[in-house]
């Protein structure tokens, strides 16, 4: 059982009260909001010539970081590429069919995962020393970093849509080259890319099918 000090106990009580009040005063998202996030949202292939501000990227991260991860590990690392110089730097790593959609995007986001995430657990999980659990098990360390870094990348996309941006996620690039270019001399590895900006509706395609509930789900 975790032993909490008095300050932590007060923080727990405050969090429980605030969350209870939030749930009591809130209703579910409207159909329009759900369509914006999922139902009619689309991955973008082209972009309007409209800047994404640094302040908006800061706002995007401030919400993204609040998404749940295992033991609050927060292993994702984000590089937001805005400058033409850095776009040219990543260009050789892109598959040919992804070059134009990346080069014309206001922002190319590299979503990575830090295999040294446990170095921060003293700050992120201060009530228990769990860093050795990861440092002593390379398989668990990798799976935790990759899985939770992927989750944080998904949170980024959902929140980006919620604050008015569009997304163009992709895995069609050379991970090793990106790692060498942007994460050299670190233990951070690239996971996927996500272009951000204001999408050009004239560049989207018809929606591809999805699997039905009965094909992939069970209630037991």
Domain that holds residue 187: 45-198
What is the chain's Cα-based Rg? 20
pLDDT at 5: 87
Instruction: Report the alpha-carbon distance of residue 14 to residue 27 in Å, rounded.
Output: 22
Residue 67 lies in a domain: yes
Chain centre to alpha carbon of residue 175: 17
Q: Is residue 216 part of a domain?
A: no
Q: Specify the pLDDT at position 8.
A: 87
Read off the CATH number of the domain in which 92 is found.
Answer: 3.40.109.10
pLDDT digits (tens, 9 = 90+) for 72-127: 999 999 999 999 999 999 999 999 999 999 999 999 999 999 999 999 999 999 98
Q: Which residues contact 196 (CB under 8 A, 6 or more apart)?
A: 52, 57, 60, 80, 105, 106, 107, 108, 109, 160, 165, 166, 167, 168
**Structure-model confidence comparison of residues 26 and 218, the more confident one:** 218
Q: What is the mean pLDDT of residues 199-212?
A: 92
Domain count, the chain: 1
Residue with tokens 């849509």: 161
pLDDT, tens digit, 9 for 90 and up, residues 164-173: 999 999 999 9
Domain presence at residue 102 = yes
Residue 33 within any structural domain of the chain = no
Is 194 within a domain? Answer: yes
Domain membership flag for residue 128: yes
Could you tell me if residue 110 is inside a domain? yes
The whole-number average pLDDT for the span 38-62 is 95
Per-residue confidence band for 1, with pLDDT thresholds at 50, 70 and 90: low
Entry pTM: 0.93
- Rounded Cα gap, residues 140 and 145, in angstroms: 8
- Does a structural domain hold residue 98? yes
């Amino acid at each position: 059982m975790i032993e909490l000090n008095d300050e932590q106990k007060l923080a727990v009580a405050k969090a429980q009260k605030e969350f209870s009040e939030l749930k009591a005063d809130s209703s579910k998202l409207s159909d329009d909001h759900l369509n914006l996030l999922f139902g009619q949202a689309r991955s973008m292939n082209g972009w309007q010539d409209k800047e994404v501000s640094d302040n908006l990227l800061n706002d995007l991260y401030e919400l993204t970081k609040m998404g749940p991860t295992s033991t609050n590990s927060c292993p994702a690392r984000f590089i937001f590429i805005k400058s033409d110089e850095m776009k040219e730097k990543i260009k050789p790593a892109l598959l040919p069919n992804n070059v134009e959609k990346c080069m014309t995007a206001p922002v190319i986001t590299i979503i990575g995962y830090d295999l040294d995430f446990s170095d921060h657990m003293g700050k992120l999980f201060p009530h228990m020393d769990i860093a050795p659990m990861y440092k002593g098990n390379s398989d668990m360390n990798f799976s935790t970093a990759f899985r939770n870094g992927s989750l944080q990348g998904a949170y980024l996309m959902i929140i980006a849509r919620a604050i008015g941006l569009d997304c163009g996620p992709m895995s069609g690039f050379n991970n090793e080259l990106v790692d060498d270019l942007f994460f050299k001399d670190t233990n951070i590895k690239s996971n996927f890319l996500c272009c951000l900006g204001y999408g050009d509706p004239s560049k989207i395609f018809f929606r591809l099918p999805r699997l039905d509930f009965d094909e992939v789900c069970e209630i037991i």
